[in-house]
Amino acid sequence: MPLSSQWDIEAYVSVHLVQEMLIKAGIPKRLGGMICWHPEFRIKVPKIDGTGFTEKKVDFLIEDHTRHVSFLIEVKSAKQRINDEARFQLVEKYLYRSNIKFGVLIDPFSIEIYEYGQSKPKARFEIEDPNHIEPLATFLKTFLETVKMRTIAIHTSKGGVGKTTLTINMAYELAKQGNKVLVVDLDDQANASLSLGVNKADEIDAASSLEEVERILDSFEERQELVEFLLECVEKDFDYRKYIHSSSFNTYLENRDGKVDVLPGSYKTKSHSLEEVASGEKRLDKGLLKLAGEYDYCLIDTPPTYNRITWNGIFAAQYIVIPSQMEYLSVYGIRNPIRKTREVREDTGEARGIILGIVPMMTDNTTKIVKTILALVEKNFPNIPLLTKVERATDIREASYQRVPISVRAEHTSKAGGVAKQLADLTRDIVERIDSLESEKGV
Ligand SMILES: Nc1ncnc2c1ncn2[C@@H]1O[C@H](COP(=O)(O)OP(=O)(O)O)[C@@H](O)[C@H]1O
Ligand SMILES: [Mg+2]
**Domains located in the chain, CATH noted:** 5-146 (3.90.1570.30), 149-441 (3.40.50.300)
Q: What three-state secondary structure class fits 172?
A: helix
Which pLDDT score is estimated for 169? 98
CB 321 within 8 A of CB 431: no
Give 125-146 as a DSSP string.
EE-S-TT--HHHHHHHHHHHHH
Strands 245-246, 30-31: parallel, antiparallel or unpaired by DSSP? unpaired
Burial 226-261 (b: 16+ CB within 10 A, else e): bbebbbbbeeeeeebeebbbebbbbebbeeeebbbb
Q: Tens digit of pLDDT for each residue in 363-411? A: 886 678 788 888 888 888 888 999 999 999 999 999 998 999 999 999 9
CB of 160 within 6 A of ligand 1: the answer is yes
Q: Identify the band that residue 237 occupies on the pLDDT scale cut at 50, 70 and 90.
A: confident
Judged against a pLDDT cut of 90, whether residue 219 lies above it is answered with no
Q: Identify the band that residue 94 occupies on the pLDDT scale cut at 50, 70 and 90.
A: very high
Taking the CB of residue 397, how many other CB atoms lie within 10 A of it? 11
Q: pTM of whole model > 0.85?
A: yes
Adjacent-strand bridge partners of 125? 111
**Among 57, 65, 3, 10, residue whose Cα is nearest residue 34:** 65
Cα separation, 86 vs 434, in Å, equals 39
CB of 162 within 6 A of ligand 1: the answer is yes
CB 330 within 8 A of CB 337: no
Of 144-148, 244-248, 436-440, the poorest mean pLDDT is in 436-440
Q: Which atom of ligand 1 is nearest to the CA of 323?
A: 22
Which pLDDT score is estimated for 291? 92
How many A from CA of 238 to the centre of ligand 1? Answer: 35
CB 275 within 8 A of CB 265: no
How confident is the model over 92-117, as a mean pLDDT?
Answer: 96
Cα separation, 325 vs 159, in Å, equals 10
How many A from CA of 269 to the centre of ligand 2? Answer: 14
Judged against a pLDDT cut of 80, whether residue 101 lies above it is answered with yes
Judged against a pLDDT cut of 60, whether residue 443 lies above it is answered with no
Cα separation, 133 vs 173, in Å, equals 39
Phi-psi region of 33 (alpha: psi -120 to 50; beta: other; left: phi over 0): left
CB of 390 within 6 A of ligand 1: the answer is yes
